[in-house]
Amino acid sequence: MGTNKLILGDNLEVLKTIESESVDLIYLDPPFFSNRTYEVIWGDDGEKRSFEDRWAGDIDHYINWLKNRVRQMHRILKPTGSIFLHCDWHASAEIKVDILNKIFGRNNFRNEIVWSYKRYTAKSNKFQSLHDMIFWYSKEKEYIFNEVREEYGEKSGKMDSHYKQDEEGNWYRMQKRKGEEAYKVYLSDGKRMGDVWEIPIINASAKERIGYPTQKPEELLKRIIECVTNESDVVLDPFVGGGTTVAVADRLNRKWVGIDQSVMAIKVTDLRLKKRQNEFFSTPYEVIIPTYDLSKLEQEDGKKFEIFIVEKFGAIPNRKGGKDLGIDGHTDYGTPIQVKKWKKPVGRATLDEFLTAIQRDNKHLFEQNKKDGQVCGFIIGFEFSKDIINEVSKLKNSENIIIELKYIRDIIPYENPPKVTLRANELEDYKYKFEAQAESKTGIDFYSWDFSHDEKEFKVDVVMDKEGVQEKKFAEGEHNIAVKATDKQGLSGTDKVKIKVKKNK
Ligand SMILES: C[S@@+](CC[C@H](N)C(=O)[O-])C[C@H]1O[C@@H](n2cnc3c(N)ncnc32)[C@H](O)[C@@H]1O
């Protein structure tokens, strides 16, 4: 596997492109099967972001979704490789029996690691849940395992009368095994690590905290990576989130690949790695974010556009159209979504109509979400006006109705293609000069020309013109000329002129 990579996309699609038997360790921390909505305020601008890890009450749906992905993970693991699947009580039983035992085999189960942590607890009529599970399976019987030791706790070791001090003051005890010479076991070597790991969760003031809602502690990942990989081995995290796995892998000189479907996760991880690059020496990496050409997106017909955006949002589109009350899709959990294709900012009137529509769509779910403080609906648009933003926050504060406004650029990164203006000047009989001027954020790479443009297709007569200036003679009559400016990112914009050629008297 080549360079270190951060890839935006649905991991199922990305995993399919990864070579078989090319990865040493896969750690995954998929969205849990729970009903929480994570919300964080982070960044200097206090931007509020959130993501849902909610699923329609149907566990089978969740298990199938994950199983398809774990199958791909099994394929890409090297024979000596391992998978560590992080989950909690919501779906751990089903994940172990229906996914891991089936795909990896019961014989390749190595450990159920219990990550035990302390946190504030809330009043409840059952015991507090204070641990997650991490299932470790190796791909085959022979696998990489580097023994990791941990320090003895306060109450063990030298307090134990078996321990003595050597001449340098180091504590040891004698160990004798049947048929072997007695040997010294030093206290400082620590004890073999068990499968219950007590590691604090990331609290609000932790140095490593980046504000990603489900960020995992670096210590947890360090143990896993050190145990089952060596330097230069490849570590993959298909749900990279805030980038804990890849940041630790990088520090431990492992190669890595991180995948996430959220633009926000990729951006945050990129920033986290960049910050690290300033602090230490580290290897370069590639960020692969497919961008969309905005002008092409805008040309899509309304329904197709809505379906495309809802799918990219990871939800289920309403394909029927017609009497959809303006609801264009639902999340897995059933929360309604509306997409607005307009270039002008989405305003207050849209919100009022949407509120009526979502109550008609599923009144029971609306009331339940309101009661639980969960999102009642999503409006997705290019821009939002101030009045809708204010009204959304008022609704939340006064009526506990949460409507989330989502920007299309956060769902699919898009770019504006170059803007081109083409001018034609007659020089002499039959001869014309054409000048194209284009603007682009990344700079224009080249211009191409079609001197007999027919609207349907751009037929290239001149391929790579760096200046955007052409002179050409024409026969008498009408001619359509088109120019296409392509920028350094490969996005292109066109402009056309029509000329009427006749001999000047
Ligand atoms: C629980 S978080 C991972 C947190 C991460 N372990 C950390 O320490 O920051 C789950 C992540 O999975 C991502 N995700 C959910 N479905 C995905 C999919 N189909 N493909 C790729 N990423 C996905 C979410 O965007 C989210 O960032």
Minimum mean pLDDT among 64-78, 192-206, 262-276, 428-442: which range? Answer: 262-276
Q: Does residue 265 have its Cβ closer than 6 Å to ligand 1?
A: yes
Least confident stretch, 148-162, 195-209, 255-269, 338-352:
148-162
Tell me the CA–centroid distance for residue 243 and ligand 1, in Å. Answer: 10
- What 3-state DSSP class applies to 215? coil
Which residue shows structure tokens 């804990």?
A: 244
Give the Cα separation of 336 and 320 in Å (integer).
15
Ligand 1 atom, smallest distance to 237 CA: 6
The per-residue pLDDT for 276 is: 65
374/369 Cα distance (integer angstroms): 5
- pLDDT value at residue 54: 46
**Of the given ranges (48-57, 143-152, 288-297, 314-323), which has the lowest mean pLDDT?**
48-57
Q: What are phi and psi of 303, to 5 degrees?
A: -65, -45
- Residue 50 in contact with ligand 1 by CB distance below 6 A: no
How much is the pLDDT for 186?
Answer: 85
* Residue 425: band (very low, low, confident or very high) from pLDDT cuts 50, 70, 90: very high
Convert 30-97 into a string of H (helix), E (strand) and C (coil). CCCCECCEEEEEECCCCEEEEEECECCCCHHHHHHHHHHHHHHHHHHEEEEEEEEEEECCCCHHHHHH
pLDDT at 212 over 80: no
Least confident of 215-224, 260-269, 304-313, 321-330: 321-330
From the CA of 265, give the closest atom in ligand 1: 27
Query: What percentage of the chain carries pLDDT values higher than 70?
Result: 90
- CA dist., res. 164 & res. 27, Å (int): 41
Structure tokens at 335: 């929360």
pLDDT at 35: 42
Instruction: Indicate the pLDDT class of residue 36, thresholds 50, 70 and 90.
Output: very low
CB count in 10 Å sphere of residue 45: 7
Q: How far is the CA of 342 from the centre of ligand 1 (A)?
A: 30
Does the C-beta of 4 come closer than 6 Å to ligand 1? no
pLDDT, average across residues 56-76 = 87
Distances (CA, A) of 173 to 151, 165, 183, 241: 15, 9, 8, 45
Nearest CA among 83, 195, 225 for reference residue 132: 195
The predicted-structure confidence for 112-160, as pLDDT tens digits, reads as follows 999 999 888 888 899 999 999 999 999 999 999 999 888 876 665 566 6
Ligand 1 pocket: which of 50, 209, 240, 266 to mutate (most atoms <8 Å of CB)?
A: 240
CATH superfamily membership of 4-148+198-288: Vaccinia Virus protein VP39 (3.40.50.150)
Spatial neighbors of 3 by CB under 8 A, at least 6 apart, are 255, 283, 284, 285, 286
CATH class in words for 416-501: mainly beta
Give me the residues paired with residue 470 across strands. 434
Cβ of 479: how many Cβ atoms within 10 Å?
Answer: 18
pLDDT band at 44 (very low <50, low <70, confident <90, very high): very low
Phi/psi of residue 475, nearest 5 degrees: -80, 165
| DSSP designation for 456 | S
What the block records as the tokens of 465 is 């013109």
- For range 282-287, the mean pLDDT: 81
Q: Assess whether the region 4-148+198-288 and the region 416-501 belong to the same CATH fold.
A: no
- The protein residue whose alpha carbon is closest to atom 19 in ligand 1 is 10
Q: Which DSSP state fits 258?
A: E
CB atoms within 10 A of CB 147: 8
Residue nearest to atom 13 of ligand 1 (CA): 239
Residues 406-423: what's their mean pLDDT? Answer: 87
- Quickly count: other Cβ atoms within 10 Å of residue 110's Cβ: 18
Global pTM reads: 0.70
SS3 298: helix
Identify the CA nearest to 75 among candidates 29, 141, 146, 26: 26
Distance 29 CA to ligand 1 centre (A): 7
Report the nearest-CA residue for atom 4 of ligand 1: 241
CB 117 within 8 A of CB 131: yes
Whole-number pLDDT of residue 47: 35
Q: Worst-scoring range by mean pLDDT, 51-60, 183-192, 413-422?
A: 51-60
Ligand 1, atom 3, lies closest to the CA of: 241
Out of 260, 263, 311, 316, mutate this one to test ligand 1's pocket (max ligand atoms within 8 Å of CB): namely: 260
User: H-type helices in 92-237, by residue range?
Assistant: 92-94, 101-104, 218-228
306 in ligand 1 pocket by Cβ < 6 Å?
no
User: Is the CB of residue 23 less than 8 Å from the CB of residue 77?
Assistant: yes
Token pair of 377, please? Answer: 């609906």
Categorize the per-residue pLDDT at 34 as very low, low, confident or very high, splitting at 50, 70 and 90.
low
**Which one, of 258, 280, 268, lies nearest residue 4 by Cα?**
258
Q: Please indicate whether residue 254, judged by its CB atom, sits closer than 6 Å to ligand 1.
A: no
Is the CB of residue 72 below 6 angstroms from any atom belonging to ligand 1?
no
pLDDT in tens, 446-476: 898 999 998 877 888 888 888 999 999 999 9
Cα 230 to middle of ligand 1, angstroms = 25
Structure tokens at 134: 């991490």
- Rounded distance between C-alpha atoms, residue 61 and residue 58, angstroms: 6
Q: What is the pLDDT of residue 323?
A: 58
Cα torsion 458, 463, 467, 471 to 10°: value is -80
Domain boundaries, the chain: 4-148+198-288, 153-186, 296-398, 416-501
